[in-house]
Structure 1
């Protein structure tokens, strides 16, 4: 018994601590291996999706030039070295051709110096309203320097500046500069005297006529009856140039509308010197963009193949991609490959698929350009290449332009039947016939000039709900046309109307001898009315009793559904397939009946939309990454639970072995007390 006790006791040599640790490790190992394997796989997927996002993003950047119509309308120009003109820009789509330019004269701005004083900061004591009108002067005199007759430019609003007695030359200059009228004002000091210098926009029709409604402003007036106090340092003139032999006049030296898309500046006149150059289509930009796309796709294809398929390592062992078992990744790969070989939705003629351009899919899945077909397409069918890759909108109406709004990504490509049922219109008001006694209806002129400074020719007009200040005619007019131009200039120059962005076009109808006032905006908020008019204005057919007609919003349907019309713009119903398109409608569209509006995203737009659906904040990859992250959190939670269970298991084993140790200690103690007991028993024989 003593030997048994010794075997079970502390003297047995059993390391209970090590034994507990080993038992716990045996219990933990398979579960921890499972968690480690799962965590490693999820981490690999996260990393793989990061690689995939980077590859897709890089590939998507190659879609931008292909989705841009300008890529397929690139132009080049070879201009001879010259200081006569300076090229500023050549826009995509510029008119191709050979051109010859001769600069006969350059445009100049009228400059006026006035208001001489020896202290530029001293109050001038002048008050009233200074009116600056724009137009063209004719001159008389030996040196053609006396302003004789002024023709108003009705396209430029008059500028009215209120002058206070406390104003100085500097404050007047600031008021003019702050008006944003195009007139530049400055104060110049010469020989101890200061003058206000006004410089008009360049061009013969942008010269200034200055009048004041108070005698204190006479020093600033420049008109046919009062100009002596003002020095005209430079007369206004137009730029004159010849383009391919045709004479062209412009009011500026910045020329951007003679050769479409070519912007250049005239530096000096050089009559007799002819510059010859050519604007040509630059197809190389599009070719390189397409080659970059093919190369980029092949790189993306290889990346996705490695991630979702199988490859071989250096030892020729088969290696499975981190996303080979990920159904979402394989589905995205399939969508991309499917789009490469599919026809572009919305393109009904010409090139409808990449294969038409000579882009072929090889046996290994990558793309290759068949050079002969590719070259022939650029030579013979270049216009088809643009519609294949870039967005394209078409309208079957001469009165409707189809454009894309900010929600174009939601528009479903295809053809849509459109019918305009109500043309847009502008608010207007028509005057009565001119009844002035000296008006000749046959010649539409006055037998003697109408002097509006005699009497009261004033009125207030409301345009699009904005009421003007009192507007007054104060000049002398020889014809109805002169009054028409003056009315349009003064109304559009009214501070309240101009600040609100409103305006009118004033017309004269020779058949009825009357003026008409048309708002420059379309829609139901467009209106024109006279809130007051003096008795003398009735001689010109204008009175507050006139009744105007409000404008109308465009109305129409897209695929039979009513659209939303505001002004000239018709929008498809919210949520419809056409939503994202914008129809800009001109009067006359309602007479055409049903027509077709078409839209195509193009290959690049379609590919870009697909990649956006994958890479977007709420896209497929973001959703998958969220799922993987949640799974990693689950692994972390399970690992914590495992630690808790193993800790509990370790405590239980330790307690069990502790109890066992107590039993062994007790047995050891009992064994010691039994030692020699036989010798002490009575009647025990001894050897």
Structure 2
């Protein structure tokens, strides 16, 4: 091509090189202009969708509080300045009312000290087991300055802790093992008068005191070491430096006892800490509704929607600039963007699906849609709604579930984005049940004397939900079946094999026999007993006892006539059904209530939030449209490459044509030169 171009203009003297370039540029111009126009439009649409996504995200951020029921359950507390009680937190939905609290005593934790040694890291030389149980000590207070722990009542709700001690363990190792048990006991090694001692601090509270039995296996250099760690009804080698006690309060005239000084269940939703006793001082305060939070959230919603609508209208329509010139929006011709804005506007003005009565649309509380689509608040109507129908306002905006069966709670699962709001007919056909083992009759006569298991002859293994425990051994003296029941429950739930899989039981006394019930519902819930010693017959749990094992059952039922899937006490709607995404927690007794209904509504906040989620999803309308635009941009790049190839060929063709012309002109020029003076040389010609 360069040889051809360099030859152009050589014969004619005409700037044919420039002529070829000009003709090529003229041929390219309209096609390139069309591509440029298309590219500019697509780039403008990409920019427009970026602005639209940003506007949707900002609007969605304002919707989140509206969809949250806590916004409409906000509370405020007027608490006095005092060092007796420290308020920690106030939850949404806290119980409103006026309260008077008098702190009579604070909770304390039992502290035991044991095992003096010169080196906390030296091997102690003894091995065996430390068995630690929680419960309540009774004291002989004959000498008020030196009370003596006498009898112990096991706290059956607290799992026992068993620590295996090896001869190579030091005092620090034992402390680490106790702390690793995650029982609430704090173990530390303290240096006192040049010796180290193990200090155990129980969880605070009167019923969380410790009874410790050290059982040596008679090996090692100190075969009686662990008995020196004991603190039980017969051996108290450990020193008790502080008793466990409860916090005692008077709340609106009622006496309340709690095992900890941080209390969150006296006034529902209000967490506070008791710092000191002050029987002469009454703390007066009130917990009130705080509607300001909800009101501000609604006003923010109106403002945010109007701002979004302004941005959306500018993008999908026409607006005026600062010079009052009409400006066409980047997405003015984009059907997808316009459709999304229409859907959002339509939803704003529509009734909320799933609300069958009360406030079903924004207009019910004085929020109006103006001719231009913006929202406005009719203040008197809005104020009346907030003052007199606040519950209906909450139902309109916040996500809500309901059930007409008091034994069934409706929860919202991770798939609720596809759940269809509305009312559903439900029938529970089978209540959930827990697996249990009903023992035979207790033959020991507690009226004739205590049951002495301190010799360790009462042992067994328990299989709970498919997990077999290690050997469980009773080691106390029991004056009643109730004492024995509490100890059984504590020892079973403290077994390491069962704790490892979170398998636990409740032990009850029913008609003179023990019933051991798994804490799990469902068909996998079961309890069986194995490897019993002969003495267990006295408790109705031996091989000679008549026992009945009953397996648990999964809940069964239908939702809108379709069978649900039961897992334990949870009933799930059929996969793909309208109710799928909800979950029903069913308590025993639900079947007796017969058919009932459940309801689900996302509220205005949740409905709009769900719609925007769909718009902004990775496979949503915006993402699909952006993919299409990207494909069109790639097509423009391909078209540009094709145009370049065509123009190159066009330029080559023009160049070849002009080169041929140059050759003809050059040939004519040569012929003309050879004719110069030819006439003068012809014969019979003359010159003047």
Task: Identify the TM-score tier after normalising by the shorter chain.
Answer: over 0.9
| Mapped contact 1:173–1:196 kept (Cα < 8 A) | yes
Query: C-alpha separation between the residues in 1 aligned to 2:150 and 2:103?
Result: 29
| Mapped contact 2:12–2:665 kept (Cα < 8 A) | no
1:160-179 map, 5 Å: 160-179=162-181
1:592-611 map, 5 Å: 592-611=593-612
Q: What are the superposed Cα offsets for residues 183-233 of structure 1, whole Å, 9 maximum, x if unpaired? A: 111111111111110100000000011112234422111112111x22110
Query: C-alpha separation between the residues in 2 aligned to 1:459 and 1:210?
Result: 21
1:119-198 map, 5 Å: 119-140=119-140, 141-143=142-144, 145-198=147-200
The residue matched to 1:502 in structure 2 has which SS?
A: coil
1:208 equivalenced with 2:210 (yes/no): yes
1:252 equivalenced with 2:260 (yes/no): yes
The counterpart of 1:336, out of the listed 341, 344, 348, is 344
Q: Which residue of structure 2 aligns with residue 562 of structure 1?
A: 563
Q: Which residue of structure 1 aligns with residue 533 of structure 2?
A: 534
* 1:9 positional shift: 9.3
Q: Which residue of structure 1 aligns with residue 38 of structure 2?
A: 38
Q: Which residue of structure 1 aligns with residue 517 of structure 2?
A: 518
* 1:455 positional shift: 6.9
Q: What are the superposed Cα offsets for residues 662-682 of structure 1, whole Å, 9 maximum, x if unpaired? A: 111111111111111111111
| Mapped contact 2:90–2:270 kept (Cα < 8 A) | yes
1:411-426 map, 5 Å: 411-426=419-434
| Mapped contact 2:573–2:582 kept (Cα < 8 A) | yes
* 1:74 positional shift: 0.6
TM-score w.r.t. length of structure 2? 0.96
| Mapped contact 1:9–1:667 kept (Cα < 8 A) | no
Distance 1:136 1:472, change over 3 A: same
Q: Which residue of structure 2 aligns with residue 291 of structure 1?
A: 299
The counterpart of 1:400, out of the listed 390, 403, 408, is 408
Query: C-alpha separation between the residues in 2 aligned to 1:185 and 1:15?
Result: 101
The counterpart of 2:226, out of the listed 208, 217, 224, is 217
Q: Which residue of structure 2 aligns with residue 4 of structure 1?
A: none
Query: C-alpha separation between the residues in 2 aligned to 1:285 and 1:9?
Result: 84
Query: C-alpha separation between the residues in 2 aligned to 1:221 and 1:386?
Result: 58
1:305-344 map, 5 Å: 305-344=313-352
The residue matched to 1:548 in structure 2 has which SS?
A: strand
1:380-529 map, 5 Å: 380-436=388-444, 439=445, 445-454=446-455, 456-509=457-510, 511=511, 513-529=512-528
The residue matched to 1:647 in structure 2 has which SS?
A: helix
| Mapped contact 1:564–1:573 kept (Cα < 8 A) | yes
The residue matched to 2:36 in structure 1 has which SS?
A: helix
Q: Which residue of structure 2 aligns with residue 679 of structure 1?
A: 680
Query: C-alpha separation between the residues in 2 aligned to 1:354 and 1:68?
Result: 17
Query: C-alpha separation between the residues in 2 aligned to 1:14 and 1:38?
Result: 38
* 1:41 positional shift: 1.1
* 1:645 positional shift: 0.9
The residue matched to 2:614 in structure 1 has which SS?
A: helix
* 1:317 positional shift: 3.5
Q: Over aligned residue pairs, what C-alpha RMSD do you find?
A: 1.4
Q: Which residue of structure 2 aligns with residue 620 of structure 1?
A: 621
Distance 1:618 1:597, change over 3 A: same
1:588 equivalenced with 2:596 (yes/no): no
Distance 1:36 1:430, change over 3 A: same
Query: C-alpha separation between the residues in 2 aligned to 1:68 and 1:457?
Result: 55
Q: Which residue of structure 2 aligns with residue 84 of structure 1?
A: 84
* 1:454 positional shift: 4.4
Query: C-alpha separation between the residues in 2 aligned to 1:300 and 1:361?
Result: 14
The residue matched to 2:583 in structure 1 has which SS?
A: strand
| Mapped contact 1:135–1:150 kept (Cα < 8 A) | yes
Q: What are the superposed Cα offsets for residues 573-616 of structure 1, whole Å, 9 maximum, x if unpaired? A: 11111010010000011111111010001111110111111111
The residue matched to 2:297 in structure 1 has which SS?
A: helix
* 1:446 positional shift: 3.0
* 1:311 positional shift: 1.8
Distance 1:451 1:315, change over 3 A: closer
| Mapped contact 1:9–1:665 kept (Cα < 8 A) | no
Query: C-alpha separation between the residues in 2 aligned to 1:12 and 1:538?
Result: 127
| Mapped contact 1:109–1:200 kept (Cα < 8 A) | yes
* 1:448 positional shift: 1.2
* 1:11 positional shift: 7.1
Distance 1:544 1:583, change over 3 A: farther
Query: C-alpha separation between the residues in 2 aligned to 1:382 and 1:595?
Result: 27
1:377 equivalenced with 2:385 (yes/no): yes
Q: What are the superposed Cα offsets for residues 551-581 of structure 1, whole Å, 9 maximum, x if unpaired? A: 1111111111111111000001111110100
Gaps in structure 1 of 5+ consecutive residues: 1-7, 440-444
| Mapped contact 2:204–2:260 kept (Cα < 8 A) | yes
The residue matched to 2:632 in structure 1 has which SS?
A: helix
The residue matched to 2:664 in structure 1 has which SS?
A: helix
* 1:173 positional shift: 0.7
| Mapped contact 2:99–2:285 kept (Cα < 8 A) | yes
Distance 1:10 1:497, change over 3 A: closer
* 1:12 positional shift: 5.2
| Mapped contact 1:133–1:158 kept (Cα < 8 A) | yes
Query: C-alpha separation between the residues in 1 aligned to 2:147 and 2:429?
Result: 58
519-528 or 18-27, larger mean C-alpha shift: 18-27
| Mapped contact 2:159–2:494 kept (Cα < 8 A) | yes
Q: Which residue of structure 1 aligns with residue 60 of structure 2?
A: 60
* 1:146 positional shift: 0.8
Query: C-alpha separation between the residues in 2 aligned to 1:276 and 1:285?
Result: 25
* 1:10 positional shift: 5.9
1:576 equivalenced with 2:585 (yes/no): no
Q: What are the superposed Cα offsets for residues 434-453 of structure 1, whole Å, 9 maximum, x if unpaired? A: 122xx1xxxxx332111123
Q: Which residue of structure 2 aligns with residue 93 of structure 1?
A: 93
Q: Which residue of structure 2 aligns with residue 354 of structure 1?
A: 362
Q: Which residue of structure 1 aligns with residue 245 of structure 2?
A: 237
| Mapped contact 2:135–2:210 kept (Cα < 8 A) | yes
Query: C-alpha separation between the residues in 1 aligned to 2:164 and 2:537?
Result: 28
The residue matched to 1:213 in structure 2 has which SS?
A: strand
Query: C-alpha separation between the residues in 2 aligned to 1:614 and 1:455?
Result: 69
Query: C-alpha separation between the residues in 2 aligned to 1:205 and 1:189?
Result: 29
* 1:359 positional shift: 0.7
Query: C-alpha separation between the residues in 1 aligned to 2:516 and 2:375?
Result: 63
Q: Which residue of structure 2 aligns with residue 3 of structure 1?
A: none
Gaps in structure 2 of 5+ consecutive residues: 1-7, 217-223
117-126 or 295-304, larger mean C-alpha shift: 117-126
The residue matched to 2:308 in structure 1 has which SS?
A: helix
